[in-house]
Structure 1
Amino acid sequence: MIRKGYILSKHTIAKQGRSKHKGACVEVWVSTDDGPVCLQSALQKPSCFVATENTKSIIEKAKREGIEIEVSSDSFFTLEQVEVDTLKTTSDSHMHQLRQLAKSLHITLYEADIRLADRYLMERFIYGSLEFIAADETATLIPEARIRPAIYTPSLYSISIDIECDENENLFSIALASNDVNEVMLVSASTHPKTLDVPDTFSLSQFSTESALLTAFITRICEIDPDVILGWNVKQFDMAVLARRAKKQGVKFTIGRDKREAFVRDWDGQTIVDIPGRSIVDGIEALKTMTYQFDSFSLDNVAQQLLGDKKLIQSEDKLGAIKALYYEDPSSLASYNHKDCVLVNEIATKTRFIEFLILRGTLTGLDLGRPGGSVAAFLNVYLPKLHRQRYVSGVRPEHGGLASPGGYVMNSQPGLYSDVLVLDFKSLYPSIIRTFKIDPMGLAEGLKYPERAIEGFKGAMFSRDNHFLPDIIDNLWRQRDEAKKQNDAPRSQAIKILMNSFYGVLGSGGCPFYDPRLASSITLRGHEIMQTTAKWIEEAGFSVIYGDTDSTFVHVNNNTSLGTPNETGQSLANTINQKWQSKLREDYDIDCHLDIEFETHFETFFMPTIRGSALGSKKRYAGLKQIGDKKELVFKGLENVRSDWTELAKYFQYELYRRVFEKAPVSDFIKQTVDNIRQGKEDTRLVYAKRLRKPLNDYIKSLPPHVKAARLADDINSKTGQRLRYQHNTTIRYVMTVQGPQTTEHQMAPLDYDHYIEKQIMPIADSILPLINLSFSELTNEQLSLFSN
């Protein structure tokens, strides 16, 4: 019978048999309607390619090194038309040895870094979901499984976990939470009573040792048997600590299915977690993949922003507070621990990030818990198609390759405007790829047969007929339109992110398809499109005051020839679309997939100058627009949206701009703000917050204010025998005092109010006041004139 499932994990297992049958087995765990199933492939052999002219040399060297290799000539070529042979080894370790050998011989191997499990699935066009043949519906292990692509949406069971420990990673407690499981496990301390009262929202178990706690946790995970384990920074912190403590206590970390041991290892500064039969998803990584943006991705901040809820401990010294609760009020610590799990689950529900990751997997084959992965997604989708045309991918350039031109950014015309329209090209870069047939194989074929190719930039020529990427995008585009019709937000977002990643992938030195001609043919075409569009708008009698990547800002300037501002915006969009359709048909004989839309009408719009200059700034503006019966003030790139400005500065800018845009008085507001600062009424809103991006001691040449404040604070902590709190990966909350920057925890000197007025308030005011004939200095001058007429 045929059953369907969704991939939770995949691994390679070495197999040994007779010499000629040596190879590896790919093991794929899937979630099905009837529970988890382990699928094991027939023997597979890792493969790669080498230029035919180098085959003999590398085979001879490999033989002397004891590396077993199979060679075949399968008429494959590189995109530079170099013929290659196929090399297969008997194991991943032999492939690794072969790669090292080739490097020592300065011989290029193609596709040698593709993992066997990834290749096994991608070459079968399996992305996320699959179907397999099983003898019966109860089978949980299928050896030598036969699999193929399928459409299947799983119903995954997830549970969130969270740990609490001290600075030495001694465990205090572990919490678990799901729809039907709410538990906290606690290591008892000598100060704890024998029984603890806790809320009825969770159960509490106490253990005499850390080893007993870990054993109980592992047992419960296996009993609960989740498909997905969630957490907040769960890989880099929770799982990393649990694995280290289990090793220290001599406890096998068998939280995988069939009591398989989880693989937790450090690689290139990151913790990699691989759990057989389960996916592990970090909430931070998931939200970043979905392009959520926050000033801080701390659980407390994200929960407040998305849920209006927060963690139970609000102390700036959270570790100190956690330790105090553990020894003095363990029931409250358990509540705190459990609440963190609940917040993660509620964020998952609110954002639907598990659903998003499932959909991403069905589009790209990326694992549920994998962050980012744009290059891997592209390879999964593109490489199997390329192989069917007898081509192999290139290699990643050394040292990251050359930078490609960026998106188009026009010099702005600074000023305060009424009636500014924003015309935006819908997914400009994917549209350019579709229209001009930009594609790695298309480039190879276009250079090979240039007679009817479409000319790109930097010598690029693209085949009109032989390509994959334009068709891939076309298919995704249709799927996204359908998702929008069905109000399927996660699917629409997943497709949008994937489509928009293709340009970055082709311009990335981490991609084996990297070629400056590909990325440049996208961005420079974008420059051409934006400049031509601006010219057409100017010819229609309107002013273009700014352009940025795919957006054009048009000042109506009292021109009513096309009707109201909204009517004008729609009319301009229609005209430009018609012009591009005609131009591309006449100039290139191609169909146009460019689509410009009228996006926004700003009733009032402000484009500032570069600070200290008369030149217009870029990627910075503010505007007031009408949405329904309300007005909305929009900021881009200004202080209001920057995390390193104080709360007062953000409020001041918002309120000042609102008053200017609505033509309300501003003088008294500015004077009152300055007076309040000097009188100490705004002290709580004068706090800076900035994160250390590296260990504190690594700051040598440059000592920004937050670093100075952190060093001073930890010097005090050291002298007073307290824990050093600001050594690395910490957000520093500090104020500027008359003695320099000091953390809020160790502020000893009065605030430097002149600093806040001159560095925070005055620059914001000076950016816009001259446009309404006012001066901040004149409004706030406290000196009386010594002379009078």
Structure 2
Amino acid sequence: MAPISTQGFILTRHWRDTPTGTEIEYWLATDGGPLKVLLTAQTSVAFVEARHRGTVDAQLLALPDVQLRELGLKTFQQQPVLGVYARQFKQLGRLARSLQQLGIPLLEADVRPHERYLMERFITAGVVVEGGRLEDGVRLDCKLLPAPDYRPALKVVSLDIETSQHQDLYSIALDGLPERVVFMLGEAPDVPAETPGFALIYCHTRKAMIEQLNGWFVRNDPDAIIGWNVIQFDLHVLQKTADDCATPLLLGRGAKPIAWRTHPGKQGYLFAPMPGRVVIDGIEALRAAVWSFPSFSLENVSQELLGEGKDIGDEYDKMAEIERRYQHDKPALALYNIRDCELVLRIFDKARLLQFAMERAHTTGLQMDHFGGSIAAFSHHYLPRMHRQGYVAPNVGDVEGKSSPGGYVMDSKPGFYDSVVVLDYKSLYPSIIRTFLVDPVGFAEGQHGIGAAAPILGPLGTRFSRERHCLPEIVTTLWRARDEAKRAKNEPLSQALKLVMNSFAGVLGASECRFFNPQVISAITLRGHAMVKATRDFVEQRGYQAIYGDTDSIFIWLKRTHTNEEAHAVAAALVHDINAWWTRTLREEQDLENHLEIEFDTHYKKFFMPTIRGSDVGSKKRYAGLSVDAEGREAMVYRGLEMARSDWTPLARQFQEGLLSRVFQGTPYRDFVAGYASATLAGEKDELLIYRKRLRHRLDAYVANVPPQVRAARMADDYNLRMGRPPQYQTGGWIRYVMALNGPEPLESRQSPIDYAHYLDKQLQPIADAILQPLGDSFAALTSSQQELF
């Protein structure tokens, strides 16, 4: 008999229409293992303005299972609405389409049943299952309540496959659970080789490999599948192989297939939902957690995070070596295959990616393998609170107009500086929302003059209610939860809360969001503009100079050289005084509680702000500095400069770093510049000359404008075809090439000598002159003898 109450973590969610109503299915991870919950005969709901009742009633004659009910809700335009209740969710879609032809919107008809059930109960990922009945291991018609603190231990498998260069399946590796195994295509040898720590199972056919894989999933029953490009490559190849063999690929719980979907906005991008299991791609998880790498290849990320990588070299060496091992040393291929699984597991552990995915689900209300979805996360939090304030949501596109200005970027004052401190507003946009009560419901109330209290006045004539709003409370709850997560040193939860909270302003400014309103988002961004300008005026009244500002940060030159201790003391005093000034000003001008908080960020002992190349105007979002912390530890910082960008060569990045560090440290730089140019011309830095650039479109899409990387990619694929290899770049990707005397040439087929003049003129000289000209020097003057060589 099932326990009365069970805690669980939602892994997957699904809905389906049946003759008796809509069914909602949740798969949960619990302390006692996986649990399937099925809620039957659920009613779906949408809303329509009451003034259209006669027209809607006529439409309902063809939909007998749909009913209208009186409700105490209204639109943002203060129009009362009726509830539209349907036995089947798809009936709402049919009604919405027929009403749309009559110019009548059916509101919230696109909110899917399994999402609405959770959001209206304030459930994100953790649940308490109460009541219901147990039939064939399924909990039926129970009640779900929120359990925000529940965190189960998930069973995780790392999956990786190896194939030929034509994506013919050779082996499948599975690691992370006790049954570590590699399924290998081929005949078992008479004398099996030792494979320490995992089983090597030979399969006569690829059909047998798929069947073995299906059986492994039934026996081991993982909650999560992880990998590297695991959906777009590994699972996709497995599905194609299964289809070619006329064998079902049954990796979902209950031996269910993958319900493949394509991304509506990304051609060829796939989703692989399956009942009861989440699929988490390491690349997507790292990006969602705001990790940054020059390359997200497994080799590069392994080297950077773990200090080790794979045992095969570049892409072509790799394919040749995989083929050799498959033909002549299958145990070595198996070891390589499961080694990739192990690296993925260790990266997930090192970066705490699984914890981040779980905490993000708890924070957003989205499925843990759904890494986008800022708009969906906003709606999950906002809709139920808005309903309790007496409002229904508009549809996407109901409000037109251009979005607001972005963050304020102050004109910079270029040059070299001593003693620059940076102050930064903590979570600027969330703090503006909390302080000025910026909110869609509050805007509707304020603009219509509802409420006894005087509204809060905002930019562009906006008015917001002091009494009724939703978003400030949501942000406050997330803010406090993040403070608690930081105190508990729960970095994955802290990061998830920060990212979600900071996304809300962007969501309000996205036309794809149902709450898009240019006036509301402008009340946030323009307030940010005013804050940075007011802060600039404040510090300049104190005798300092603001030399740059960007959205929530302000860079302050202290006007003379300060010791590290003096600079930190000045910054601390400014922070105290600015925060006190905001508290006093907001109380006196609008009787508001201050949640704006500026913090000390960095002291730069030396700082460099360049000009826009070829002009005297200061650049934006590009600078470098020698920072010093409170303990006196120094570090070079680069933002937006060539050495921080992947589209410049390592030659340029290393040169810029070397030159700036010498200028900042006050050591001689002239010999360095001349020597670097000389070594480049002598071929001593050839390994640094490689461009690595992304092909953002198909190769055949480049017609009128053909950039160097495209020319190199076309040459590479012509060479690949001549060598009997599959083309690598037809649909995009990353290409590595050098500039030769005959133009850009890919590493795959170098033919002509290096064009060293190109690298001096296009890579070194622009960097050098940006730094040297403020010092009264130039690249040409320091390399005149080398320049004569070309």
Give the CA deviation at 1:559. 7.8
Is 393-402 or 609-618 further displaced after alignment?
393-402
Match of 1:709 in 2: 712
Match of 1:355 in 2: 355
Give the CA deviation at 1:698. 1.4
Question: What SS does structure 1 have at the residue aligned with 2:244?
Answer: helix
CA distance in 2, matches of 1:425, 1:295: 29
C-alpha change, 1:640 and 1:195, in structure 2 (3 Å) is farther
Question: What SS does structure 1 have at the residue aligned with 2:395?
Answer: coil
Which letter does structure 1 place at the counterpart of 2:386? L
Which letter does structure 1 place at the counterpart of 2:24? V
Question: What SS does structure 1 have at the residue aligned with 2:785?
Answer: coil
Give the CA deviation at 1:184. 1.0
Please give the per-residue CA displacement for 1:580-628, whole angstroms capped at 9, x wherever unaligned. 1111111111011111111111000000000001000000000001244
Report if the CA contact (8 A) 1:413-1:607 is conserved. Answer: yes
Is 153-162 or 414-423 further displaced after alignment?
153-162
Question: What SS does structure 2 have at the residue aligned with 1:452?
Answer: coil
Report if the CA contact (8 A) 2:8-2:128 is conserved. Answer: yes
* RMSD between aligned residues: 2.2
C-alpha change, 1:581 and 1:30, in structure 2 (3 Å) is same
Give the CA deviation at 1:754. 0.4
Match of 1:247 in 2: 243
* 1:684-703 paired onto structure 2 within 5 Å: 684-703=687-706
CA distance in 2, matches of 1:783, 1:736: 19
Report if the CA contact (8 A) 2:780-2:787 is conserved. Answer: no
Which letter does structure 1 place at the counterpart of 2:620? K
| 2:330 is the counterpart of 1:330 | yes
C-alpha change, 1:137 and 1:11, in structure 2 (3 Å) is closer
CA distance in 1, matches of 2:353, 2:16: 31
Report if the CA contact (8 A) 1:400-1:510 is conserved. Answer: no
Instruction: Say which of 81, 85, 98 aligns to 1:84.
Output: 81
| 2:371 is the counterpart of 1:371 | yes
Match of 1:596 in 2: 598
Instruction: Say which of 69, 72, 83 aligns to 2:69.
Output: 72
Report if the CA contact (8 A) 2:214-2:251 is conserved. Answer: yes
Match of 1:40 in 2: 38
CA distance in 2, matches of 1:752, 1:632: 35
Report if the CA contact (8 A) 1:62-1:101 is conserved. Answer: no
| 2:647 is the counterpart of 1:652 | no
Question: What SS does structure 1 have at the residue aligned with 2:291?
Answer: coil
Match of 1:119 in 2: 116
Give the CA deviation at 1:399. 11
C-alpha change, 1:218 and 1:562, in structure 2 (3 Å) is closer
Report if the CA contact (8 A) 2:41-2:87 is conserved. Answer: no
Give the CA deviation at 1:330. 2.6
CA distance in 2, matches of 1:458, 1:242: 56
Which letter does structure 1 place at the counterpart of 2:43? K
Instruction: Say which of 680, 692, 712 aligns to 2:683.
Output: 680
Report if the CA contact (8 A) 1:303-1:347 is conserved. Answer: yes
Match of 2:228 in 1: 232
Please list every run of 5 or more consecutive structure 1 residues that lacks an aligned counterpart in the other structure: 17-21
Match of 2:128 in 1: 131
C-alpha change, 1:195 and 1:696, in structure 2 (3 Å) is farther
Match of 1:344 in 2: 344
CA distance in 2, matches of 1:589, 1:493: 33
Please give the per-residue CA displacement for 1:313-347, whole angstroms capped at 9, x wherever unaligned. 22232445433433343333222221111111111
C-alpha change, 1:62 and 1:248, in structure 2 (3 Å) is farther
Is 558-567 or 287-296 further displaced after alignment?
558-567
Give the CA deviation at 1:640. 0.8
Match of 1:106 in 2: 103
Match of 1:611 in 2: 613
Report if the CA contact (8 A) 2:677-2:786 is conserved. Answer: no
Match of 2:555 in 1: 553
Report if the CA contact (8 A) 2:403-2:517 is conserved. Answer: no
Report if the CA contact (8 A) 2:132-2:143 is conserved. Answer: no
Which letter does structure 2 place at the counterpart of 1:444? A
CA distance in 1, matches of 2:290, 2:428: 18
CA distance in 2, matches of 1:417, 1:575: 24
| 2:511 is the counterpart of 1:509 | yes
Question: What SS does structure 2 have at the residue aligned with 1:416?
Answer: strand
CA distance in 2, matches of 1:694, 1:196: 47
C-alpha change, 1:273 and 1:55, in structure 2 (3 Å) is farther
Report if the CA contact (8 A) 1:3-1:137 is conserved. Answer: no
Report if the CA contact (8 A) 1:182-1:202 is conserved. Answer: yes
* 1:727-742 paired onto structure 2 within 5 Å: 727-742=730-745
* 1:103-502 paired onto structure 2 within 5 Å: 103-134=100-131, 140-150=137-147, 151-188=149-186, 193=189, 197=193, 199-268=195-264, 269=267, 270-317=269-316, 318-397=318-397, 402-449=402-449, 452-502=454-504
Question: What SS does structure 2 have at the residue aligned with 1:544?
Answer: strand
Report if the CA contact (8 A) 1:27-1:41 is conserved. Answer: yes
Give the CA deviation at 1:179. 4.8
CA distance in 2, matches of 1:716, 1:478: 58
Report if the CA contact (8 A) 1:157-1:228 is conserved. Answer: yes
Question: What SS does structure 2 have at the residue aligned with 1:7?
Answer: strand
Match of 1:19 in 2: none
C-alpha change, 1:196 and 1:735, in structure 2 (3 Å) is farther
CA distance in 2, matches of 1:319, 1:100: 52
Which letter does structure 2 place at the counterpart of 1:162? D
TM-score by length of 2: 0.95
CA distance in 2, matches of 1:546, 1:554: 7
Give the CA deviation at 1:154. 1.1
Give the CA deviation at 1:303. 1.4
CA distance in 2, matches of 1:784, 1:27: 72
Identity of aligned residues (%): 40
